[in-house]
Chain A
Amino acid sequence: AQRVTQPEKLLSVFKGAPVELKCNYSYSGSPELFWYVQYSRQRLQLLLRHISRESIKGFTADLNKGETSFHLKKPFAQEEDSAMYYCALSGLSGAQKLVFGQGTRLTINP
């Protein structure tokens, strides 16, 4: 079964501090992992996908197959990073439906 776990419902850090949002997954095959973000009053949008190995808005995420994790990191948080973040997993077959974690609400304090 596909499952995504985000252990922190809420995370609060100060501006300029490092941020790490945790994500663990379970999947029997080779998954595709994503981070989605939802800013206040905006639609859910793709932030990162693991196969791209890119940095978006200063965020990076590395897939660790040994630990089945895909943590999202940013070295220096900005106030505009305050949002709801969802980790998601997609399988290989069919419509590649996305399975989401419970979400982490990140608040950056000035």
Chain B
Amino acid sequence: DVKVTQSSRYLVKRTGEKVFLECVQDMDHENMFWYRQDPGLGLRLIYFSYDVKMKEKGDIPEGYSVSREKKERFSLILESASTNQTSMYLCASKRNRGREHGYTFGSGTRLTVV
């Protein structure tokens, strides 16, 4: 069973802080993704990575960066947290082959920026 683990379930940070959200998957998946989930907006892709040290911007990358130094770990970084980044953040992973098998999601990190 594929496991995608997000290190924190809840986080509260202050405006201007640098925030790290960590995601680890244990099934050797090539692709990893960061989404934010907001009511009425669905899930929006922030960044994704298709290999170690490779990254691509998603639809809403502004204010975020990512790091993928190891295949199993994909970190989302908020360089200077702002209140409009208060949201639920979901990490997901997917294998390259077998496109039809879909993604596996983590349980999410609910970030509140005060």
Query: Which residues on A are within 8 Å of B, measured CB to CB?
Result: 4, 6, 9, 32, 34, 36, 43-46, 49, 51-52, 86, 88, 90, 92, 94-103
Contact = CB atoms under 8 A, between A and B. Distances in A.
Contacts of A99: 45
Nearest to A103: B42
Contact of A49 (B41, B102, B105, B107): B102
B7 to A, nearest CB: 15
B62 interface: no
Interface in B35-52: 35, 40-45, 48-50
A-B pairs with lowest CB-CB distance, top 5:
A100-B43, A46-B102, A95-B50, A102-B42, A44-B105
Contacts of A90: 99
A96 B108 contact: no
Nearest to B30: A95
15 contacts: A6-B42, A32-B99, A32-B100, A43-B106, A43-B107, A44-B43, A90-B99, A92-B99, A94-B50, A96-B31, A97-B45, A98-B45, A100-B44, A103-B42, A103-B43
Nearest to B49: A95
Contacts of B111: none
Contacts of A97: 33, 45, 48, 58
Given A44-B43, A96-B99, A103-B42, 20 more contacts: A36-B102, A43-B108, A44-B105, A49-B100, A49-B101, A49-B102, A51-B100, A86-B43, A88-B43, A90-B99, A95-B33, A95-B48, A95-B50, A95-B94, A97-B33, A97-B48, A99-B45, A102-B40, A102-B41, A103-B40
B103 interface: yes
Interface string B43-69: 111001110000010100000000000
B21 interface: no
B107 to A, nearest CB: 5
Nearest to A41: B107
A74 to B, nearest CB: 20
A109 to B, nearest CB: 21
B26 to A, nearest CB: 15
